[in-house]
Amino acid sequence: MPNTVQQSPASCQLILMPSGRKGQVAIGTNLLDAARELGVELESICGGRQTCGKCQVIVEEGHFPKHGITSRSTHITEPSKLEREYDQEQPLNGRRLACAAQVLDDVLITVPDESQAHKQVIAKAATERTIEVNPAVRQLYVEIEPAVLGDPRGDWERLVQALQDQWQLSELVIDPKTLLSLQSILRAGEFAVTVSIWQDKEVLRLQPGYQEGLYGLAIDVGSTTVVAHLCDLRTGAVIATQSAMNPQVRFGEDLMSRISYINSEPQGLARMNRLIIKTLNDLAEKAAKDGKISPQDITDVVLVGNTVMHHILLGIDPAQLGVAPFALATYSALDLKARDLGLNLNNACRVHTLPLIAGHVGADNVGVMLAESPADHEGISLIVDVGTNAEIILGDPTQVLVASSPTGPAFEGAQITHGQRAAPGAIDRVRIDPQTLEPRIKVIGHPDWIEPQNDKDSLPQVKATGICGSGIIEAIAELFLAGIINSGGHFLPSTAERSARIQFDGPTASYILVNAELTATGVPILVTQNDVRAIQLAKAALYAGTKLLMDQRGVKAVDRVILAGAFGTFINPFHAMVLGLIPDCDLDHVVAIGNAAGDGARLALLNKNLRQKAVRLARSATYVETPLETTFQDEFVAALNIPHTTHSFPHLAGRLPEFPEESSRKRRSRLRTMQESNK
C-alpha cells in the first residue's frame, strides 16, 4: 500500500461524474460501496467479487478547482490480484473495477454510461426523451453454502439465505417449475448460481455459475399487425424487431366481425386464441434467432392490444365487448405466466399486460399514453391513434380525456376499391398537379417518386398493386387541393373535360391513379367516389370524437397533435389537416410517431415503475363514451365536409381551393342523405 495511507484523514472526499454527486467517505471503502453511499448505483452482477467487470470506473488525474480537490490514481489502492487477472483476460485500458478499488484519498471518478446501474435509453417518441432502464427482472450471481450432513435445510432455503445475506432480498418465492431444476443446477455450478428474479420477489431462472444475458419481449397485438421487440433488459437496447399480420384477419378485418365469428362458432374463441398465440410464438422464435439467443432466455413480456385483442389473447370471450354496455372482464393490469398463455418462452417467464381504460379503449391506448402522456406536456395535446377504431386522447397536466371513435377500417385500406395493407406494392404517397391534374406517386419498396405518365418504363418494375391507408388519405386530400373534388367530396364534372384521368360512369365518378397497363394486376388503380365517401365517414367519426373531447375539456383549439398508429409515421400532417382528420393546429406542432402503443409496451418492459405509472394514467383518465353524447351525431354530420362545415382552419389559410358557396339548407340536406345511405 502507498505511503499516503498513514497521512490520510479517516475520511476523504469522493466526487462522481457525470452526476456531480460528492461527499465524504471512509478511507478503505471500495468504490462500489462508496458510490452507493453517495446515491450512485453502479452495475454489478457478481456482487463485488471482482469477476463480472460491470462496475468499471475511470479515476481522473489532476486538480479540479471547481470542486477544490486534487485527484490522483494513487489515491486508490493498487489493483488486486483478481483485478489484474481480469485485466489480462479483458483489458481494462486503465479503468478500475470499482468493487476492487478502495479509496485512500480525495478522488474524482467518472462513471461511464455502461457502468451505470440504471442506464438511460432514448425513447423514440414525438419528443425524444431518456428513460431509466430498471426492468422487473434482474440477474444476480450468488454463492450458497453447500449441503452438509447435519444441516436439514433444503437447497432452496440455503439459496434464500444467500440471497438475503448477499443481496438483501427477503420473502422470496420460487416458480414451482424452476424449483424442479434447482438441485442439479446448484451442483453443476458447484453451489454458485446466477438467479433471475422478478420484482425482487420470485425466482424465475437459475443458471449454473456466473452467467450474463437478460431478455424481454414487448408486444403490440393490433387488429391487423402484431409487432414484437426483443430487448436486452440490461442495456435497454432493442435487439430485434419482428412483425406479422394478425392471422385473425381471415375472420374479419374489424373487431365486430371477429366478435360475431366467436359468437357464432362454438370453437371460435379457442381457434382465434390459438392463432394469435402461435403468431406470438413464431415472432418470439424469429426475434430470438435474430438476437442469437434462445426463447428460453426470455423471462419477461409486456403485452398491449385493444380490448378485443386483449381478451381473446387471454382466452376471454369478447362477446360483452360487442354489445352495450361494452363490459370488460377486467380493466386491471395483470401479472401472468407465459406458460399459462401457451407461450413457449422461459418456463417461468412472466407476462405483464398494461391496464385497459374502458370497453373500447384498451391497453394499446395506455401504451400510447405511456409513450406520449399529455399529462407530461404543457398545453393541450391531442393524440390520435388511427386504426380500425380510432382512439383519441386529449389533455394537459390537469386532466386527460379519452374516447374511442368507430372509424371503420377505411384508414387501413379496407372498404377502399383498390385499398390494401401497407406492404410492398402499395401506393403510400400521392401528389396531384393542380394544373395538369397528373399524379406523382410513391410505392412501398421503391425509393423514388414516380410520375406514371412520364415513367412508363420504370413503373411496371415497382409492381403497384393498390393503395394503402396513408396513400388514400393523401390521394383524397390532393384531389380536393387540385379542385377535382369539392368540399362535399363530389367529383366535379368540369374537371373531366380537363383530364382523361377523371371518368364519369353514371352517378359514379373516379380518378385513374395508375393506368391498367402499368400496374402489377393489369387493372387500373382508381380512387372512386365511394372511396371518397368511405374516407369522409371515417374522418368525420374521428373528428366528431375529437370535437367531443375538446368540448368536454372546454377548449377551442389544441397546442399539439400527435398522430400514432401502425401507419402514423407515414401520414403527412398537412394532408391529414386538409382532409379534416385533425382540428386546426400549427403544422409544426403536428407530429406523426408511428406505433406508439408498441413503444409504450417497450417502456413498461424496460422500467417496472412505468407499469405503475400506466395504471395511474389509465385510472386517472376520464373516459367519454361517444354514443352517450347527443352532440356526437351533430358533430359527425358537420365533419363530413372537407375539411369541415363549420370549423375554420386558419393554419391552412391560402392553401385550400375556393368553391362556389352552397346554401346551408342544401348542404345540410345533402349531408343527411349521405349519412343515411351509409347507415
Tell me if 678 contacts a copy of itself by CB under 8 A. no
Residue 603: enclosing H or E segment and its boundaries?
Answer: helix 596-606
Angle between helices 596-606 and 363-371 (to 10 degrees): 80
Stretch that binds a copy of itself, among 37-45, 352-360, 430-438, 457-465 (CB under 8 A): 352-360
Residue 526 to residue 500: CA distance in whole angstroms: 13
Cβ of residue 643: shortest distance to a copy of itself, in angstroms?
31
What is the nearest approach in angstroms of a copy of itself to the Cβ of residue 223?
20
Q: What residues from 359 to 388 belong to the interface with a copy of itself (CB under 8 A)?
A: 359, 361
Which is it for strands 426-432 and 466-467: parallel, antiparallel or unpaired?
Answer: parallel
- CB-CB contact of 645 with 659 (8 Å): no
Interface with a copy of itself (CB under 8 A), residue from 65, 176, 506, 654 = 176
SS (H, E, C) 544-577: HHHHHHHHHHCCCCCCEEEEECCCHHHCCHHHHH
Binding of residue 277 to a copy of itself (CB under 8 A): no
Cα(584)–Cα(576) distance, integer angstroms: 10
The only residue of 82, 92, 179, 188 in contact with a copy of itself, by rule CB under 8 A: 179
Least Å distance between CB 45 and a copy of itself? 25
Complex with a copy of itself: residue 184 or 648, whichever CB lies closer = 184
- Note whether 182 binds a copy of itself by CB under 8 A: yes
Q: What residues between 606 and 645 interact with a copy of itself by CB under 8 A?
A: 623, 625, 627-628
Binding mask 121-160 for a copy of itself (x = CB under 8 A): --------------------------xxxxxxxxxxx---
Region from 10-18, 101-109, 312-320, 405-413 binding a copy of itself, contact rule CB under 8 A:
312-320
C-alpha dist (Å) from residue 583 to 97, 162, 481, 544: 56, 60, 18, 10
Q: Does 198 bind a copy of itself (CB under 8 A)?
A: no
Give the residue with the Cβ less far from a copy of itself, 19 or 164: 164
Report the b/e string of 242-265 with b at 16+ CB within 10 A. bbeebebbebbbbbbebbbbbeee
Q: Of 238, 245, 329, 652, which lies in the binding site for a copy of itself, with binding defined by CB under 8 A?
A: 329
Beta-bridge partners for 64: 69
Should residue 535 be labelled a site residue for a copy of itself when binding is judged by CB under 8 A? no
Q: What gap in Å lies between CA 372 and CA 375, rounded to an integer?
A: 9
Name the 3-class secondary structure at 134: strand
Q: Per DSSP, what are the bridge partners of residue 96?
A: 57
Q: Least distance in Å: CB of 640 to a copy of itself?
A: 26
Cell of 483: 379542385
Binding of residue 327 to a copy of itself (CB under 8 A): yes
Give 157 or 290: the residue with its C-beta nearer to a copy of itself.
157
Number of shown-chain residues binding a copy of itself (CB under 8 A): 46
190 binds a copy of itself (CB under 8 A): no
β-pairing verdict for 173-174 and 129-132: unpaired
Q: Of these, 65, 91, 266, 325, which contacts a copy of itself (CB under 8 A)? A: 325
184 binds a copy of itself (CB under 8 A): yes
* Nearest approach, Cβ of residue 635 and a copy of itself (Å): 19
> What gap in Å lies between CA 608 and CA 307, rounded to an integer?
22
CA distance 144 to 149: 15
Query: Is residue 262 involved in binding a copy of itself (CB under 8 A)?
Result: no
Among 27, 334, 555, 587, binds a copy of itself (CB under 8 A): 334
Residue in the block written with cell 400506466? 614
* Stretch binding a copy of itself (CB under 8 A), from 135-143, 358-366, 388-396, 568-576: 358-366
Closest CA to 101 of 71, 122, 131: 71
CB atoms within 10 A of CB 414: 18
- Distance in angstroms (rounded) separating the CA atoms of residues 463 and 461: 5
Pick between residue 395 and residue 419 the one whose CB is nearest to a copy of itself. 395
Binding site for a copy of itself (CB under 8 A): 147-157, 174, 176-177, 179-180, 182-184, 314-317, 319-320, 324-332, 334, 336, 340, 356-359, 361, 623, 625, 627-628
